[in-house]
Structure 1
């Protein structure tokens, strides 16, 4: 079973390196559906898995000055309280079945939203650029900091409950709110926010005793070389081919969890 966990880490890491889609959107469903890991343990362990696998990329983007720190702080001003409030709510639920039902439903919704974000990323950017000179957009722009904080609050709750959304949903959010920001800056900014958010949420779940540290170790053992291999091969594959495939897979998995809950 330990080898199977590492192989799952290798496969997910490879796909992440290949497509850029966040590991949480793939690893959590695999742990629940294929390995039968309880949703609480799967989500909690995957949060720390995501934080650790993405942490290395933060320094590379920061060194190249591709992180918009002000936007990161605005997102964290919402997402960290959102995560902490969600953790407190989970602690208040006495029945494990209630927690698992809530997590399954949130996981399904997050996966569906992530699939939409994958499909529509370029269209979202094009639309945002087309309407940016409209009068109502100028009003929206003045309120953008508060909107960013509010969006972070919602994202923090979703990620803490499902371990999904910090990557693809965060990217779609930044494209919508900051269409003039380059894609490299969007990726770097979203990456820093995702690492901090998943780290905080994962640490919170750890204090609740939900993280399986042995499982985490075996997942990391496979995923790190997988990300390396996938990133090298991914440079030769067209995103126009891979993104629709990944979007379809995430949509199908998301519908499965929503219907099952």
Structure 2
């Protein structure tokens, strides 16, 4: 089938991802990776490369949604830039190094790791555990090391880090709106380092589809980004009005469904 046919799934994915990026401070990789795997499989891409392509493409697309989400949250004055500065270097190092490591990991391991991690995140969203009132953010070194860990895990599952950074910040008693906004800004260095890492690590791979830059499929990135940046502002506005607790539970159900679908595709 020609590329015109495949435009619509990518555009639809971009619409959903952009909205969720603004609403929950996430990059949308939890949705993008399994959906991209389905689309890539239907397009006839090499099955041994589908997982890596989905991970790399998701990371690259998150760059645009993260920048747009961070900008609109910044306009509301709720981004904790002091936290961002302390975590950014660790995020870059963790994401870049683990994105290279992921290129050497078998697709079954990556798919299982992704699905298990998403199930864990969904459980956390359902439980909605509250932190102790006395809990505070760690010092700059602690934030940097936390950033490295978040960046490394984000690279393996191709997310913008929001599924880790939002719970971490709220656990440290950062107000949820500030946690969501700061997480959106943290997604920029994660996605940038991850996208570059997957592009470089897949540059020598044989049999990649046309217009792929390493493990980054550029047509999908451009189509997803073109729509997602338009729906981010809607999600940002609603994040300040709607009950986030309920929305997280709905999102958790979606994550579980996609995690099981990803396993079904691989096995």
CA distance in 1, matches of 2:198, 2:144: 23
The higher-RCO structure (CA 8 Å, 6+ apart) is 1
Q: Which digits, 9 at most, give the CA deviation of each residue in 1:120-149, with x for residues without a partner?
A: 44x33xx321xx2xxxx6xxx696544433
In the alignment, is the contact (CA less than 8 A) between 1:9 and 1:219 conserved in 2?
yes
Q: TM-score, normalised by structure 2?
A: 0.76
- Map of 2:116 onto structure 1: 109
Question: How many residues align structurally?
Answer: 242
Equivalences for residues 55-74 of structure 1 within 5 A: 55-63=67-75, 65-74=77-86
- Map of 2:3 onto structure 1: none
1:201 aligns with 2:194: yes
Structure 2 unaligned residues grouped into runs of 5+:
1-5, 202-213
Structure 1 unaligned residues grouped into runs of 5+:
none
Q: Which has the larger helix fraction?
A: 1
The offset of 1:250, in angstroms, is 1.1
Q: TM-score, normalised by structure 1?
A: 0.77
CA distance in 1, matches of 2:165, 2:138: 19
Change (3 A) 1:144 1:244: same
The offset of 1:89, in angstroms, is 2.4
Equivalences for residues 186-225 of structure 1 within 5 A: 186-208=179-201, 209-225=214-230
- Map of 1:119 onto structure 2: 126
- Map of 1:128 onto structure 2: 132
In the alignment, is the contact (CA less than 8 A) between 2:18 and 2:231 conserved in 1?
yes
| Bigger shift: residues 73-82 or 44-53 | 73-82
